[in-house]
Amino acid sequence: MSQRFDFIETPLTGLIKIERKPIQDNRGFFSRFFCANEFETIGFTQPIAQMNHTFTRKKGAVRGMHFQNPPYSETKIVTCIKGKVFDVAVDIRKNSLTFLQWYAQILSADNQTSLYIPDGFAHGFQSLTENCELFYIHSSFYQPDAENALNVLDTELCIDWPLEITELSGRDSNYSMIGKDFVGIDVQ
């Protein structure tokens, strides 16, 4: 039993909702984002290679569905530290029983929830409020040559974005739709 986290399985094996358990008093709260000992219980044993911070100005904007190709695939722990987002992970693991299925979780500064996204998932989100900030913990270094993504509008995925998409980068909108030759990625 974790002291600072509740780890909750999702319908996609390995993808875990994390509920942080802050310590609160009249001054405010203390909340832990990561503890190697506690995260080892859910299989996260890699070193932390990078920590990243994103800011998304506009409500309805979408970023995603990003991943890195092996051998540079990565595990991510995603937390919203300002605003509220619809956070999405898509299973792209070759031969997975839930291949191309997606799961979404509302992450917000208020709900103290993170998403643990293991190797073999594409990730993206839609901002549900103005001025959203996300904090990411990554198990691998960013490799530009390994960068890849699924198109957020791909009808094969049928992601049910809760708002009209108000903004999408040129790069994200130009990713190809999934073809018959896409069999997923091998993960260790």
List, for residues 79-96, the tens digit of each pLDDT value: 999 999 999 999 999 999
Strands 84-91 and 167-168: unpaired
| Structure tokens given for 150 | 């699924």
As a whole-number percent, the residues of the chain with pLDDT over 70 amount to: 99
Q: With respect to residue 181, please indicate whether it lies within any of the assigned structural domains.
A: no
Q: With respect to residue 135, please indicate whether it lies within any of the assigned structural domains.
A: yes
pLDDT of residue 112: 93
List CB contacts of 45: < 8 A, sequence separation 6 or more. Answer: none
Query: Across the strands, what pairs with 114?
Result: 18, 79
Q: With respect to residue 40, please indicate whether it lies within any of the assigned structural domains.
A: no
Given the residues 66, 103, 116, 138, the one annotated as active site: 66
Is the model's pTM score more than 0.85?
A: yes
Given the residues 72, 136, 138, 142, the one annotated as active site: 136
Residue 95 sits in which domain range?
A: 5-23+45-173
Across 55-59, average pLDDT: 98
pLDDT of residue 133: 98
Does the annotation mark 136 as catalytic? yes
Using the predicted structure, report yes or no on whether residue 38 has a pLDDT greater than 80: yes
Q: Band of the pLDDT at 3, cuts 50, 70, 90? A: confident
List CB contacts of 56: < 8 A, sequence separation 6 or more. Answer: 63, 83, 85, 127, 131, 132, 133, 134
Q: Say which amino acid occupies 62.
A: V
